[in-house]
Amino acid sequence: MHLLYGFDLQLNDGKSPFQRTFVNQVKRCAEMSRKLRFFKDQIHKAGLVPSPNPASEPDVELEELEIQLAEHEHELIEMNSNSEKLRQTYNELLEFKMVLQKAGDFLVSSGNHAVAQETELSENVYSNDSYADSASLLEEEMQPGPSNQSGVRFISGIICKSKVLRFERTLFRATRGNMLFNQAPADDQIIDPASNEMVEKTVFVVFFSGEQARTKILKICESFGANCYPVPEDLTKRSQIIREVLSRSSDLEATLEAGLRHRDTALNTIGFYLSKWTNMVRREKAVYDVLNMLNFDVTKKCLVGEGWCPIFAKTRIQESLQRATFDCSSQVGIIFHVMDAVESPPTYFRTNHFTNAYQEIVDAYGVAKYQEANPAVYTIITFPFLFAVMFGDWGHGICLLLGALVLIVREKKLSSQKLDSFMEMLFGGRYLLLLMSLFSIYCGLIYNEFFSVPFHIFGHSAYKCRDATCSDAYSVGLVKYRDAYPFGVDPSWRGSRSELPFLNSLKMKMSILFGVVQMNLGIILSYFNARYFGNSLDIKYQFVPQMIFLNSLFGYLSLLIIIKWCTGSQADLYHVMIYMFLSPFEDLRDNKLFWGQSVLQVILLLSAVIAVPWMLFPKPFILKRLHTERFQGRTYGILGTSDMYNEEEPDSARHPHLDEFNFSEVFVHQMIHAIEFVLGAVSNTASYLRLWALSLAHSELSTVFYEKVLLLAWGYDNIVIRLIGLAVFAFATAFILLMMESLSAFLHALRLHWVEFQNKFYNGDGYKFKPFSFALLTDDDD
């Protein structure tokens, strides 16, 4: 990586966002994108689908676009508020019409009892011009001093159907029962303006007497959100008002329609350009954000930027800069200058579709330090392999393979679509899934499990009955009469009583062996890291004692396991390992596996004991000695006024600093590292036993579903029960075994990599190289 003027930028980190030069432009872009979001919302609410205009128009300038967007927004807002008002008026008219229609029935029936002719005006009277007639009619009937009159008056109105019961009860209580409440459901539904959905309403008429009752009732109406409308008692007046209301509401309807059409046309025209405008604004905003990271040098009238670029891209960058100068016909060229850097460069691994998923899962734990060994190289194979050790069933492996193949075959189509987050993760890991399934098929063949059923693919079993009657097969067992089954676990084990003891022993030892091998690989990678960075101290005082410690204990255990398998000895390995520590000089008797075992054990024990202070003590002292040698005579600090610093830009990445050597800190750090390794050797080895645990769980679940669901259902002759059994088996396999167990095995294999493998060598404290790219601009705003 070179530090240079130009790319992944860091110069203005110190300044606040408001001091930077292009902050106004960024604000304008943000405002424009807000307007665009508003348009998109409106288009969506109107139920239109924006169809992009296929004909490519010439690009608009940003300032022109700003003005256009402002105009459109203003127009849309105005149209919206107008149609709101109209709609409200229309609603009220509708309600009035319903009240007139229904209340008329009540009044006809009540008008037959000789009641007083006064009608009451309610508060919500319309003062529109078209009501001039009706208003004058109603005014005529207003008697002076109606409060003194007794006699039955009424209030008519409309209320939501859900509130009618409570309304009636409240009215009853408020007027102490001195009222008559008539209600009838309205014929049509009306849009409730508050919730914007259709509600059912009920028309009501309340007959009461007295002024106090009137005020109470009106107040209650208001609190319940009931709208009161005046209904004249006289039949002719009523029909006249109904006619007026009908005509006015049809006018309004036409107006509303016209308004809606007008708005839809406007939205459609906006919709043509919407995606183009959104893209443009997004790109401009990104460009201004990047420009903000550059330093604007007022005296030299230029923009200065520092950044990183990969070495292989240098010539391409120089060419592009020349082309840019030419294209915008500027007089001054762009200067591209390589500098030395003190701080660590970013890490950049070039990946393709296949390796990208693995690099992502390694980076999720920590991005590699600049130029340290990349564990992803081994992870590509060992991660799916450890997954498969925990998942091993070649039937399930085939299902996973089919899924992976579907994703890979439809790669082009799926990569252009926008997927939801679960599918996106699954699609991103399609090659991961492919390898996982291939290794699962392999491990399934080795464990000899096809949906938990063993097959005799690789020849006959190695076991048979002792005699023809198989009489003691249930008590003493079969006998091994040939060589071991050539590939995988012998099929005779499945279903036997001693299956679990055998498989458990096999899988536990297998886990330990895999664990020791992977940890050794990790330590060897730390050797290569130390060699690359020229750190011989780490090799001599960290790599060597670590190898000695791990292998004299757990490498020796692996050796014992293999010897026990090869010789068929009955030695108890727990006993051997524990007494190696407790009483190393005691005679081994039954636990002797090979000649010279006691002597070897003592030697290994001593090496392990020596290795611990070897990795703890020498390194801090040697570091201290090296530091005092290097900085002898430099204890007064560096003079910072040499000429080469005069032309420095103020915020350059080169800050000369003097390392303070804090011995206690280094010593404690080394101690922590040593203790972590020593204790970790035991705990990490035991951690690999999860390979055994999960494969046991998978196998047992699979057996249960097969025997207790499928075979049980198949035992009946009834076709319905068989189908149900098959369906339950399929669902259980798909959801529990394929999805849940996959996730579980994925997680545990990942943990084994991140912790047990990587903590032997990985620093993971780097940062990623993130070059600016239009293609990577995400739809953050949407």
Partner 1 sequence: MGFLVTTLIFIVVGIIASLCARICCNRGPSANLLHLTLIITATVCCWMMWAIVYLAQMKPLIVPILNETE
Number of CB atoms found within 10 A of residue 524's CB: 15
- Would you count residue 499 as binding partner 1 (CB under 8 A)? yes
298, 328, 332, 566: residue in contact with partner 1 (rule CB under 8 A) = 566
532, 533, 565, 594: residue in contact with partner 1 (rule CB under 8 A) = 565
181, 272, 349, 442: residue in contact with partner 1 (rule CB under 8 A) = 442
- Would you count residue 486 as binding partner 1 (CB under 8 A)? yes
Smallest separation, CB 398 to partner 1 (Å): 18
- Would you count residue 506 as binding partner 1 (CB under 8 A)? yes
135, 242, 377, 653: residue in contact with partner 1 (rule CB under 8 A) = 377
Smallest separation, CB 576 to partner 1 (Å): 15
326, 502, 631, 774: residue in contact with partner 1 (rule CB under 8 A) = 502
- Would you count residue 382 as binding partner 1 (CB under 8 A)? yes
- Would you count residue 574 as binding partner 1 (CB under 8 A)? no
With respect to partner 1, which residue has the nearer C-beta, 276 or 480?
A: 480
Q: Which two tokens stand for residue 351?
A: 């990946």
13, 57, 340, 483: residue in contact with partner 1 (rule CB under 8 A) = 483
With respect to partner 1, which residue has the nearer C-beta, 362 or 478?
A: 478
Who contacts 412 (Cβ-Cβ below 8 Å, separation ≥6)? none
Question: Which among 47-55, 376-384, 631-639, 749-757 is the span making contact with partner 1, rule CB under 8 A?
Answer: 376-384
With respect to partner 1, which residue has the nearer C-beta, 496 or 759?
A: 496
Would you say 237 and 188 are in contact if contact means Cβ atoms under 8 Å apart? Answer: no
Separation between Cα atoms, residue 597 and residue 764, nearest integer Å = 41
With respect to partner 1, which residue has the nearer C-beta, 312 or 595?
A: 312
- Would you count residue 505 as binding partner 1 (CB under 8 A)? yes
Separation between Cα atoms, residue 435 and residue 176, nearest integer Å = 81
Separation between Cα atoms, residue 571 and residue 593, nearest integer Å = 7
Number of CB atoms found within 10 A of residue 361's CB: 17
Diameter over CA atoms, the chain? 128
Radius of gyration of the chain (CA): 42
With respect to partner 1, which residue has the nearer C-beta, 167 or 378?
A: 378
With respect to partner 1, which residue has the nearer C-beta, 190 or 521?
A: 521
Residue with tokens 């059409």, as numbered in its chain: 261
- Would you count residue 495 as binding partner 1 (CB under 8 A)? yes
Between CA 204 and CA 209, with CA 208 as vertex, the angle to 5 degrees is: 160
Q: Which of 653, 773, 769, 651 is nearest to 296 (CA)?
A: 651
Smallest separation, CB 506 to partner 1 (Å): 5
48, 220, 291, 473: residue in contact with partner 1 (rule CB under 8 A) = 473
Residues 283 to 342: which contact partner 1 by CB under 8 A? none
With respect to partner 1, which residue has the nearer C-beta, 483 or 648?
A: 483
Smallest separation, CB 47 to partner 1 (Å): 52
- Would you count residue 185 as binding partner 1 (CB under 8 A)? no
With respect to partner 1, which residue has the nearer C-beta, 346 or 491?
A: 491
Would you say 440 and 397 are in contact if contact means Cβ atoms under 8 Å apart? Answer: yes
With respect to partner 1, which residue has the nearer C-beta, 477 or 584?
A: 477
- Provide the CA 722 distance to its chain's centre, in angstroms: 40
- Provide the CA 383 distance to its chain's centre, in angstroms: 22
- Would you count residue 373 as binding partner 1 (CB under 8 A)? no
Would you say 358 and 379 are in contact if contact means Cβ atoms under 8 Å apart? Answer: yes
- Would you count residue 469 as binding partner 1 (CB under 8 A)? no
- Would you count residue 463 as binding partner 1 (CB under 8 A)? yes
DSSP class of 200: -
- Would you count residue 476 as binding partner 1 (CB under 8 A)? yes
With respect to partner 1, which residue has the nearer C-beta, 288 or 439?
A: 439
Q: Which helix (H) or strand (E) holds 718?
A: none
Separation between Cα atoms, residue 736 and residue 20, nearest integer Å = 55
Would you say 393 and 698 are in contact if contact means Cβ atoms under 8 Å apart? Answer: yes
Helix (H, G, I), strand (E, B) or coil at 144: coil
- Would you count residue 369 as binding partner 1 (CB under 8 A)? no
- Would you count residue 55 as binding partner 1 (CB under 8 A)? no
With respect to partner 1, which residue has the nearer C-beta, 387 or 746?
A: 387
Separation between Cα atoms, residue 540 and residue 574, nearest integer Å = 32
87, 161, 480, 722: residue in contact with partner 1 (rule CB under 8 A) = 480
Number of CB atoms found within 10 A of residue 530's CB: 18
With respect to partner 1, which residue has the nearer C-beta, 236 or 475?
A: 475
Who contacts 265 (Cβ-Cβ below 8 Å, separation ≥6)? none
With respect to partner 1, which residue has the nearer C-beta, 194 or 566?
A: 566
- Would you count residue 452 as binding partner 1 (CB under 8 A)? no
- Would you count residue 689 as binding partner 1 (CB under 8 A)? no
Question: Which among 10-18, 477-485, 678-686, 770-778 is the span making contact with partner 1, rule CB under 8 A?
Answer: 477-485
Would you say 434 and 408 are in contact if contact means Cβ atoms under 8 Å apart? Answer: yes
Smallest separation, CB 483 to partner 1 (Å): 7
Q: Is the dihedral of CA 470, 476, 480, 481 positive or negative?
A: negative
Q: Which of 692, 697, 694, 688 is nearest to 753 (CA)?
A: 688
Q: Which two tokens stand for residue 174?
A: 């408020």
Between CA 343 and CA 349, with CA 346 as vertex, the angle to 5 degrees is: 150
- Would you count residue 381 as binding partner 1 (CB under 8 A)? yes
**AA letter at 781:** D
- Would you count residue 542 as binding partner 1 (CB under 8 A)? no
Separation between Cα atoms, residue 578 and residue 284, nearest integer Å = 69
Smallest separation, CB 510 to partner 1 (Å): 5
- Would you count residue 385 as binding partner 1 (CB under 8 A)? yes
Would you say 118 and 151 are in contact if contact means Cβ atoms under 8 Å apart? Answer: yes
With respect to partner 1, which residue has the nearer C-beta, 298 or 476?
A: 476
Question: Which among 100-108, 566-574, 671-679, 741-749 is the span making contact with partner 1, rule CB under 8 A?
Answer: 566-574
Question: Which among 69-77, 560-568, 698-706, 726-734 is the span making contact with partner 1, rule CB under 8 A?
Answer: 560-568
Smallest separation, CB 632 to partner 1 (Å): 43
Smallest separation, CB 329 to partner 1 (Å): 39
Between CA 298 and CA 306, with CA 300 as vertex, the angle to 5 degrees is: 85
Residue with tokens 């399929």, as numbered in its chain: 730
- Would you count residue 446 as binding partner 1 (CB under 8 A)? yes
Residue with tokens 């008539």, as numbered in its chain: 182
Would you say 203 and 99 are in contact if contact means Cβ atoms under 8 Å apart? Answer: yes
Q: Which helix (H) or strand (E) holds 179?
A: strand 179-185
Q: Which of 387, 393, 427 is nearest to 410 (CA)?
A: 427
Q: Which two tokens stand for residue 329?
A: 């016909």
With respect to partner 1, which residue has the nearer C-beta, 442 or 661?
A: 442
The tally of CA atoms less than 13 A away on the side-chain side of residue 323 is 6
99, 267, 489, 709: residue in contact with partner 1 (rule CB under 8 A) = 489
Strand partners, 312: none
Separation between Cα atoms, residue 404 and residue 435, nearest integer Å = 9
22, 167, 378, 706: residue in contact with partner 1 (rule CB under 8 A) = 378
- Would you count residue 544 as binding partner 1 (CB under 8 A)? no
With respect to partner 1, which residue has the nearer C-beta, 42 or 492?
A: 492
Question: Which among 24-32, 62-70, 494-502, 602-610 is the span making contact with partner 1, rule CB under 8 A?
Answer: 494-502
Question: Which among 222-230, 443-451, 717-725, 774-782 is the span making contact with partner 1, rule CB under 8 A?
Answer: 443-451
Residues that bind partner 1 in the complex, under the rule CB under 8 A: 377-378, 380-382, 385, 389, 442-443, 446-447, 462-463, 470, 473-480, 483-490, 492-493, 495-499, 501-502, 505-506, 509-510, 513-514, 517, 562, 565-568, 570
